[in-house]
Structure 1
Amino acid sequence: MPDRRARAQELVERLVAEGRVRIADPDDEVAEWRRVVNYAKCHGLKPAGKRIERVPYGGPGLGLFLAEGSHPNARNQRPKAAEELTPVLARLGHLHPVVAALKDDERRLVMPSALRRRSLLPLQDLTVEAVRRGHEVRKAGSSFYPREGGVDVAVDGFACTVSVRQEFPSSTNPERSARLVVELAHGLTDRPGR
């Protein structure tokens, strides 16, 4: 659709010039603007190294801006081959200071010792890989229940808490009581990623 392409190019030019564009049109116009944004994304009309982000803008409106880099969920951000995946360690050794402090804290990860060790393994893996990639790992700022423990990983200044806990601590079923949950706290919603 030539009209949509022209509108998409015009929108990108406005975003480059103004930084933010607010659309306060009725719902049917906002729907068309969403299609224009999708057209710009799908046809590579956005500037190199940028992405177009949409945010709600009071009622039926829409706010648009250019953000740096590709979207965190973009296909180019995902591992491309199995060798890029990080294998889970089989034993704890050479602990990162944050994980070592968590291991020594008897008030955290209150659970059977075998589960406690299994809880520390993915946190150690995560910290090693994060540091290898140049990210900062620090003591989790969130408060945890005694059966939980976690670390904060800061990527480009944005910190995210990763926690581990026993999923069914009160279960009498040994299989259920041995299940662990790893959660990634989302900063924008109350829903964690499991």
Structure 2
Amino acid sequence: MTLDKGGGAARAEVTEAGRFYLRHGGHPDDAEPADRSEPSAPADSPTPYRERPVARARREKARELVERLLAEGHVRFAHADDKEIAEWRRVVNYAKRHGMEPEGKRIEKVPYGGPGLEFFLAEGPHPNARSQRPKTGAPAVRVPTRLVSLHPVVADLKADAGHMRGRSTPC
């Protein structure tokens, strides 16, 4: 493929090598030539995601995690490395996406002891869940555009801009 950006406009054109690749599935200069026959048609029924090895393994780990959470209340991985933490996060996300959380509960994850991770079951839907969004037609909450007659504590905080930026001041 060639790309010409002359005059501020882009124009792309498939080269002969590109057409060869599209027809045969390989570049004509490859050391080992690709099959010169017609490209094979894609499989009619690829393996569904839920039956692939990764999905089966995650489903099993998610099932075990939920069982442990129900029995123990929380599960901690105190010395997990980044790779293990990433995999457990994927397992929890799999459980959430596939409705594996117990009825009326949700799996939460929080850092634990530096590099570790802790999972526990929390009650009810997540505060950011769609079910927690305001209903259509709910009464609006008025928010003033200008603050007047501030509480003395708020007025002091507003006057000390450094305090609001995290700079500690003696009490």
Q: TM-score range by the shorter chain?
A: 0.5 to 0.7
Match of 1:4 in 2: 58
Q: CA RMSD for the aligned pairs?
A: 3.0
In structure 1, distance between residues paired with 2:157 and 2:118: 41
Match of 1:183 in 2: none
Greater per-residue strand proportion: 1
Kept in 2: contact 1:20–1:65 (CA 8 A): yes
Structure 1 unaligned segments of length 5 or more: list them. 91-113, 120-139, 149-189
Match of 1:19 in 2: 73
User: Does 2:97 align with 1:42?
Assistant: yes
In structure 2, distance between residues paired with 1:115 and 1:56: 38
Q: What letter matches 1:65 in structure 2? A: F
Q: What letter matches 1:84 in structure 2? A: A
Q: What letter matches 2:60 in structure 1? A: A
Distance 1:85 1:43, change over 3 A: farther
Distance 1:15 1:147, change over 3 A: closer
Q: What letter matches 1:55 in structure 2? A: V
Match of 2:155 in 1: 145
- Deviation track 1:146-183 (CA, whole Å, cap 9, x = no partner) reads 587xxxxxxxxxxxxxxxxxxxxxxxxxxxxxxxxxxx
Distance 1:16 1:144, change over 3 A: same
SS in 1 for 2:131: helix
* Offset of residue 85 of structure 1: 3.9
SS in 1 for 2:155: coil
SS in 1 for 2:154: coil
Match of 2:140 in 1: 86
SS in 2 for 1:34: helix
- Deviation track 1:93-116 (CA, whole Å, cap 9, x = no partner) reads xxxxxxxxxxxxxxxxxxxxx852
Bigger Cα Rg = 2
**TM-score, normalization: structure 1?**
0.46
SS in 1 for 2:140: coil
**TM-score, normalization: structure 2?**
0.52
Kept in 2: contact 1:27–1:61 (CA 8 A): no
SS in 2 for 1:28: helix
* Offset of residue 29 of structure 1: 1.0
In structure 1, distance between residues paired with 2:143 and 2:82: 52
In structure 2, distance between residues paired with 1:18 and 1:84: 40
Structure 2 unaligned segments of length 5 or more: list them. 1-54, 159-165, 167-171
The equivalences for 1:83-122 within 5 A come to 83-88=137-142, 115-116=147-148
Match of 2:126 in 1: 71
* Offset of residue 89 of structure 1: 8.7
Distance 1:54 1:145, change over 3 A: same
Q: What letter matches 1:31 in structure 2? A: A
Match of 2:37 in 1: none
* Offset of residue 71 of structure 1: 1.0
Work out the percentage of aligned pairs sharing the same amino acid.
Answer: 56
